[in-house]
Amino acid sequence: MIEDYLRKEIEKHISPVQSLTPIEKGFSIEKKYKITTDKGDYLLRVSSMKTIDSKTQEFELMRKLYKIGVRCNKPIMMFRNDSRESVSAVYSFLPGIDAEDNIASMSEELQYKSGIEAGADLKKINSLSCETTDWKNRKWKKHEYYVNRYFDQDYRFENDKKVLKFIEMHYDTSEAAKDQFQHDDFHLGNIIINNQGYAGVLDFNRYDWGDPLHEFVKLEWFTWPVSEVFARGQIEGYFGKRRIDDKDCLQISVYIAMSILSTIVWTLKFHPHTWIEIEAKMRTILNHFDYFENVRPKWAA
């Protein structure tokens, strides 16, 4: 069994293993485990050897993020197994509970405070940059791909051409000086709370380099519906104020509009069993923005 092999590797490099428990939550194709050892708990992520380059980069980037104070899993070690065609990464384990399922048990004051701390962490995450400036071009090509796939399938949403026109008119193609590091999946489902407060963020495996304003797409889809006060706190922690500038609001709204198309295509192809829930979220977003006649998100004050 793969668990036996992993247990031996952990015991060889770290400490005797008391338990190795699979973590089932999430859509990632990699295998995740919570490992309890004599020295404490660890997170183990096992991926295909085909991903070794990206997994190594992710490991090193998380090392940088941890060093600058981001509350994330601390990278410990990596090892590979050629016979099993796998690469494994060991991280410290963030103690706490899932924010998405548990934040409602906290007072609104503590939810807001946690949002501020999460926003400050996201700002640190986005502080890393690279020399590339091609994200906006790549993003537009992805958008065109999803638009084509959208019209290839039968489902249509009301006023879809109006939304597409809004994107075409307002997408900003100007290059940034540098692309910034994006977590690109920053929302309550990937956030841990502990002792009634923000404890850290998980799952950097969808990271990208580009416009950090794209991070707020997931806030609209997955954080705002669960905790409005956390979302508002995240804005204050990130921007240092409650109200986002009009220019930034417009850019974020364009990204959210683009996400409508990609989410439809992605969900119907890969996770059709979640469609009823996703379609309800999508309709709420479209109504919030009045099909993007309004470009100021409710959480942008």
Mean pLDDT, all residues of the chain: 94
**149/82 same-domain check:** no
In the chain, how many domains are there?
A: 2
**181/246 same-domain check:** yes
Angle, CA of 293, 225 and 167, to the nearest 5°: 30
Q: What's the confidence (pLDDT) of residue 298?
A: 94
**190/272 same-domain check:** yes
Residue 237 located in a structural domain? yes
Residue 127 located in a structural domain? yes
pLDDT above 70 for 124: yes
pLDDT per position as a tens digit, 76-92? 999 988 888 899 999 99
User: b vs e for 171-202, b when ≥16 Cβ sit within 10 Å of the residue's Cβ?
Assistant: beeeebeebbbbbbbbbbbbbbbeeeebbbbb
Residue 299 CA from chain centroid, whole number: 18
**45/143 same-domain check:** no
Q: pLDDT-derived band of residue 1, with 50, 70 and 90 as boundaries?
A: low
Higher pLDDT, 55 or 83: 55
pTM of the prediction? 0.94
The Cα–Cα gap between 169 and 70 comes to 36
The side-by-side arrangement of strands in the sheet containing 129-130 is: 129-130, 179-182, 208-210
Residue 213 located in a structural domain? yes
**173/275 same-domain check:** yes
Residue 190 · residue 201 · CB < 8 Å: yes
Please report, for the domain that includes residue 188, its CATH number: 3.90.1200.10
Domain boundaries, position 193: 109-300
pLDDT per position as a tens digit, 241-288? 999 999 999 999 999 999 999 999 999 999 999 999 999 999 999 999
